[in-house]
């Protein structure tokens, strides 16, 4: 029985899914709510209420970063294997080290001609049919309004950091905390000003997560419910666990786009 050309691609994707599932399970155990209480404070001089995070737990294990690196490695490899098979399908003779899925945030860098008369595009996609090359061009991050936020750009940045630097440590980050005023207890309240920690910035003990100032009476007393969602980020890219799963889904959609073209 002949082996399907994309078997290795799907094995890589399957391995990435397994790692994500395992890491997600470990993260759920790590995020004990009691280990990250919020301390409320009020500044009499400025009228600002603030909520500060107390880190009673140890830092995220570095093994989280190692597993995350393996996840992006499998995802990147699955794309390279896809292009390799596309080159064979197109009748070409792909090179084992140069044929790969291009990921570029700059169109000029992607297509400019070098001294040998070629470009990154022609070198990486040698043997791939013109139709498939055009589809791959459409997935390039430079096509987006914010190229650096494209899933493939994030994948490449994380993979490059993981390959060429020390293991990126895992850090605790917060995703958009929010405050809900349940009811007014005492005083006049018509609105509030808010401030919050930068999204996905690494958190330290006693870091302010959220603050608000009531209007017109800053000293009014209200019942407030604070909602916070924690995640693990990996430096230096600050890619989070939720990002990794989004990237996996995006890569799987790319593979699915080409799959019907294989016999």
The per-residue pLDDT for 32 is 65
Number of neighbouring beta carbons within 10 Å of residue 205: 9
pLDDT block averages, 10 residues each, the chain of length 263: 89 97 85 76 94 81 88 96 95 77 97 84 93 98 96 94 73 83 80 87 87 91 86 83 94 98 92
What does the chain come to in residues? 263
3-state SS, residue 216: strand
Dihedral over Cα of 239, 242, 245, 251: its sign = negative
The per-residue pLDDT for 37 is 84
Rg of the chain taking only CA atoms, in angstroms: 24
Can you state the angle between helices 63-89 and 7-30, rounded to 10 degrees? 160
- pTM of the entire structure? 0.85
Q: What share of the chain is helix, strand, coil (3-state, %, to 5)?
A: 45, 20, 35
Tell me the residue ranges of DSSP E strands in 23-133.
38-42, 49-53
């Amino acid at each position: 029985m002949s082996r399907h050309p994309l078997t290795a691609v799907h094995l890589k994707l399957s391995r990435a899914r397994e790692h994500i599932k395992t890491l997600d399970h470990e993260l759920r155990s790590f995020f004990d709510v009691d280990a990250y209480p919020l301390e409320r404070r009020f500044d009499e001089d400025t009228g600002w209420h603030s909520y500060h995070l107390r880190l009673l737990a140890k830092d995220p294990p570095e093994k989280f970063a190692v597993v995350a690196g393996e996840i992006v490695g499998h995802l990147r490899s699955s794309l390279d294997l896809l292009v390799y098979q596309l080159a064979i399908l197109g009748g070409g003779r792909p090179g084992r080290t140069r044929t790969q899925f291009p990921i570029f945030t700059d169109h000029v860098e992607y297509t400019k001609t070098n001294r040998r008369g070629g470009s990154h595009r022609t070198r990486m996609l040698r043997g791939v049919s013109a139709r498939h090359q055009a589809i791959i061009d459409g997935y390039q991050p430079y096509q987006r309004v914010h190229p650096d936020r494209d899933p493939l750009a994030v994948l490449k940045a994380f993979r490059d950091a993981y390959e060429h630097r020390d293991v990126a440590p895992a850090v605790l980050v917060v995703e958009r905390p929010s405050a809900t005023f349940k009811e007014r207890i005492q005083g006049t309240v018509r609105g509030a000003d808010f401030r919050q920690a930068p999204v996905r910035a690494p958190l330290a003990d006693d870091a302010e997560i959220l603050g608000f100032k009531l209007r017109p009476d800053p000293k009014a007393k209200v019942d407030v419910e604070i909602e916070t969602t924690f995640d693990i980020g990996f430096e230096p890219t600050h890619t989070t666990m939720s990002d990794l799963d989004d990237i996996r889904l995006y890569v799987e959609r790319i593979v699915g786009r080409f799959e019907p073209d294989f016999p």
